[in-house]
Amino acid sequence: MKRTALLFSAILSMCLSATSETINLKNGDRITGAIVKSDGKAVEIKTEYAGVVKIDWSSIAELKADTPLYVSSAGKTLKGNVTASSEQVVVATDSGETVVPLASLTAVRNEAEQNVYLRATHPGLLQGWSGLTNFGFALARGNSETTNYTLRFDAARKGFRDKLTLFASSVYATNDSSDSGDVTARNASGGLRYDRDATKKLFGYGSGQFDYDELQLLDLRSTVGGGGGLHVIANARTTLDFLGGGAYTRESYDTGEVRDLATLSFGNELSHQLLKSTLVKQRFFIYPDLSETGEYRFELNLTGITKINKWLGWQVGAYNHYISNPIDARKSNDMTVTTGLSVSFQK
């Protein structure tokens, strides 16, 4: 029985060795494992004894992979067994061998990494979404009787070169001490934006936003626009984008007045990981009116989210909306401060 077990172990070890990828280094070392991926500058190989090891191509004398890999170069992707050196990669496909100079190599991926890449570049409609839903509620009874609700939803689906963003928010507040239950705040806003990268720094965008505000007598404001943007900062902790373009706005008021406006649009969006568990977001947009010089409106949103656990957090937000020419002697500026629970999701 013992001899059978030893024989089985030996056969298993031989099989594993036969199917492992091998990297021979110029200094004489040899590494075996499973090739994970490469960006053309280094190779990642998963070993049994040291986990994932990253090796510079310049240190490699020879690489052999009997398990098919995906090799990308000059916009084309080949699948096959790979033999490589520090100067070139040879891909053996069903139709023959193709030589790819290392200088033109874009990426090498195993099956799992290729699937991840495809999901990122061509996600399905319901794939790749991540975001936050914030809830806030306050109730007072006694000498003061008030009720307040807040809701905000933000979601984004980011691809390899594009991003789709959805957002919605609502605030409702009443003073229940009066017989009629006076409404002190009731507004809602929602919209979407699509970004498409032209280069690593430059991108174009198209957006649509829809707003309702009872206290401003605003039945509906529809804003459709587009333009270009610049990725100023893009790293693991901070992203900062500046955007500029034009927009068309149509405003319908409870009084029956309708405004059709052609505007410019300028703004920025910032996301910064302030602490390990705290994320700060800021969004600002201003819309100068082209038909009425000197008239404009702007929106400023500030949000801080502190994680309690992986999916639950605490959110504090401040939202300031300003319009230079309000209707019916209404105030120009509306500011709302909210706080409540935040639920994150990722699909």
**Residue 14 pLDDT:** 43
**53 or 123, higher pLDDT:** 53
> Is 21 in contact with 67 (CB distance < 8 Å)?
yes
- Predicted structure pTM score: 0.71
**Residue 304 pLDDT:** 94
For 8-30, the pLDDT digits (tens) are 444 444 444 444 689 999 999 99
Closest CA to 64 of 46, 82, 88: 82
Whether the per-residue pLDDT at 94 is higher than 90: the answer is: no
What SS3 state is found at 18?
helix
Closest CA to 125 of 153, 154, 157, 155: 157
Closest CA to 166 of 219, 128, 218: 128
Domain spanning 129-346, CATH architecture: Beta Barrel (2.40)
**15 or 155, higher pLDDT:** 155
- Cα–Cα distance, 85 to 107 (Å, whole number): 15
All CATH 2.40.160.40 domain ranges in the chain, comma separated: 129-346
Closest CA to 160 of 209, 100, 106, 110: 106
What token pair was written down for 249?
A: 């706005």
User: Rounded mean pLDDT of 193-200?
Assistant: 94
**Residue 14 DSSP class:** H
The neighbour count for residue 299, using CB atoms within 10 Å, is 18
The neighbour count for residue 69, using CB atoms within 10 Å, is 26
> Is 17 in contact with 30 (CB distance < 8 Å)?
no
Instruction: For residue 93, give every residue at least 6 positions away whose Cβ sits within 8 Å of its Cβ, in sequence order, or none.
Output: 78, 79, 80
> Is 151 in contact with 172 (CB distance < 8 Å)?
no
Instruction: For residue 18, give every residue at least 6 positions away whose Cβ sits within 8 Å of its Cβ, in sequence order, or none.
Output: 66
